[in-house]
Amino acid sequence: MTKVSKLFEESEIAARVEQLAGEIARQISGDLVVVGLLKGSFVFLADLVRALDRAGMTPGIEFMRVASYGLGKESSGNVELIGDILDDIAGHQVLLVDDIVDTGRSLLFARNLLLDKGATRLWTCTLLDKPSRREVDCAADFVGFPIEDVFVVGYGIDYAETYRHLPYIGVVE
């Protein structure tokens, strides 16, 4: 059985999401479409858009799905689009939300795709950032927590499609 030790408690995550929403609301004005990268960002995105509402914003919500991990702990290095957004984002400001920036490949791939679709301005937001693992030049505009090179699960993040349900973020040991 895999052991998971807590890295960030549920209350720490909730407080940081509220802070992020405040930072975003101070820097972005006007209409905004929030695009979440599935599956990992779904819990974070749900909490973030509610916090954005409390900060006075009324974001639209869209999802896209990209993959590079499969069922392992290491990225394959190849990013593929599995599910595209359904709405036209041409002419809209976009906040791209991911659960974790590791190599940077997935976030860069999705960012470029959304810009190609006509987003007028695009910002990126990630709950977790592992700068030591970066393989491409891709820094998120808004970061919840920088972390060391550890494999994490919980709060929507999985290991082989398990542990997404955890209300906290833990390290797989």
Amino acid occupying residue 38: L
Q: Between the CA of residue 67 and those of 38, 92, 101, 118, 166, what are the distances in Å?
A: 9, 25, 13, 22, 21
d(CA 41, CA 142): 14
DSSP 77: S
Instruction: Give the catalytic positions in this structure.
Output: 102
Nearest residue to 59 (alpha-carbon basis) of 28, 84, 90: 28
